[in-house]
């Protein structure tokens, strides 16, 4: 592990189908929880690209 846990955030490692990957498999890191913004202000196109 690196760094410290941030309260109220969850981390997920997902594949290109947004499915969780097994431990040790490469994937993309997704962050969720109360500390994550709901989207970009006045940028709906970025919200579609970067928020699930």
Could you report the per-residue pLDDT of 16-25, keeping only the tens digit for each?
A: 999 999 999 9
In the chain, domain spans: 9-50
Structurally, what CATH architecture does the domain formed by 9-50 represent?
Answer: Roll (2.30)
- Dihedral angle sign, alpha carbons of residues 52, 19, 28, 3: positive
pLDDT per residue, tens digit, the chain (52 aa), is 678 888 889 999 999 999 999 999 999 999 999 889 999 999 999 999 999 8
Task: Give Cβ neighbours of residue 28 (< 8 Å, ≥ 6 apart).
Answer: 13, 14, 15, 16
CA nearest neighbour of 36 among 49, 52, 15: 52
Say what the pLDDT of residue 40 is. 95
């Amino acid at each position: 592990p690196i760094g410290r846990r941030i309260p109220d955030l969850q981390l997920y490692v997902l594949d290109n189908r947004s499915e969780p990957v097994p431990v040790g498999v490469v994937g993309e890191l997704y962050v969720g929880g109360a500390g994550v913004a709901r989207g970009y202000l006045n940028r709906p196109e970025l919200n579609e690209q970067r928020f699930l």
